[in-house]
């Protein structure tokens, strides 16, 4: 019985892959970066309500500060992935300019009409007062 369990465990581990869809529309998108808030390109994040648009590990990422210590980050690629324009951020809405579809950042990028995929959100973890980890 132990041998069967061990064989099952090994088979499960080797059957994993990175082609699992992320957020139902984005497959294979990973991110693990540390950003330094003391750099000029991230200076907007030093104040509550501040924002920053940057290319991080080849992805266009919009990061904003949600209060004194909270942050959110979204990929600027439209979820339908057939648009070359970057999404825009206005208030609580994220808009894809190609189809004018809107997403709510307060609801983790969920589409306002409830149909389709969410905008791709990254996890933002403060490391210390001057560094953030952006991951997915």
- In this predicted model, what pLDDT tens digit does every residue of 6-61 receive, in sequence order? 555 555 555 554 444 445 678 788 999 999 999 999 999 999 889 999 999 999 99
- Of 75, 74, 84, 72, which Cα lies nearest the Cα of 126? 72
The overall pTM is greater than 0.75: yes
The more confident residue out of 87 and 11 is 87
Domains contained in the chain, CATH given: 32-135 (2.102.10.10)
Q: How far is CA 31 from the centre of its chain?
A: 8
Residue 92 pLDDT: 80
- Average pLDDT estimate for 78-90: 87
Structure tokens at 96: 């894809």
Distances (CA, A) of 70 to 24, 31, 37, 97: 26, 19, 14, 27
């Amino acid at each position: 019985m132990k041998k069967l369990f061990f064989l099952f465990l090994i088979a499960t581990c080797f059957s994993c892959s990175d082609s699992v869809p992320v957020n139902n529309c984005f497959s294979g998108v990973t991110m693990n970066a540390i950003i330094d808030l003391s750099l000029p390109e991230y200076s907007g994040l030093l104040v509550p309500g501040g924002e920053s648009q940057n290319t991080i590990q080849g992805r266009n990422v919009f990061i904003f500060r949600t209060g004194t210590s909270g942050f959110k980050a979204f990929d600027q690629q439209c979820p339908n992935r057939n648009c070359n324009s970057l999404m825009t951020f206005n208030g609580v809405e994220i808009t894809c300019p190609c189809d004018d579809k809107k997403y709510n950042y307060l609801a983790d990028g969920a589409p306002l009409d409830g149909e389709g995929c969410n905008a791709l959100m990254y996890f933002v973890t403060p490391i210390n007062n001057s560094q953030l980890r952006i991951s997915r």
